[in-house]
Amino acid sequence: MTVTPPGDEAVLLLRLAGPLQAWGDRSTFNRRETRPVPTKSGIIGLLAAAAGRAREDSLDDLSPLRLGVRVDQPGTLLRDYHTVSDYRGRPLPQAGVSAKGVQKPTSPAKHTHVTTRYYLQDAIFLAAVAGPRELLLGLQHAVRNPAFPLALSLLR
């Protein structure tokens, strides 16, 4: 990762390579898709996690950053068949919550939930993030010393 050139504006280069990557796309209930290249929201999320930002923290300073992506190796699409159940044999709760913030059981009772998730296998990208030099220097330090574990796939 590199920050260049001198002056007020700079570019942070990030090499994104791993056995599995997922870059959020449409996610509807039982289906989680991925884009074929890293998304700006995904990169900003990665940078925010590295910097130790909580989910509720503002991203106003990161939103104006500009992103360019070079595909070095496109990878192949992996379809993952996923099942979820409660190890105690209890019915699974609904995804939504009541007005009181309580999850209700599924009706009729469902003991197993099936989902399909998509990942990129063995993809390699070079992401160029452009913006204010001081901000990118701080983000470069954060990526090298992340506050939270960083992952190229969705941990869900």
Does residue 153 belong to any structural domain of this protein?
no
Does residue 155 belong to any structural domain of this protein?
no
For residue 25, what pLDDT is reported? 74
- pLDDT digits (tens), the chain, 156 positions: 555 555 699 999 999 999 999 998 777 778 888 999 999 999 999 999 999 999 999 999 999 999 999 999 999 999 998 888 878 888 877 767 778 878 777 777 777 878 888 999 999 999 999 999 999 999 999 999 999 999 997 654
Phi, psi of 55 (to 5 degrees): -55, -35
Pairwise CA distance, residues 154 & 105, whole Å = 26
Does residue 12 belong to any structural domain of this protein?
yes
The residue range of the domain holding 56 is: 3-93+100-144
Does residue 19 belong to any structural domain of this protein?
yes
Does residue 118 belong to any structural domain of this protein?
yes
Cβ-contact 125, 38 below 8 angstroms: yes
CATH of the domain at 113: 3.30.70.2660
Number of domains composing the chain: 1
Cβ-contact 16, 125 below 8 angstroms: yes
For residue 156, what pLDDT is reported? 46
Does residue 43 belong to any structural domain of this protein?
yes
> Residue 5: is the preceding peptide bond cis (ω within 30°)?
yes
Count the neighbouring beta carbons within 10 Å of the beta carbon of residue 32.
20
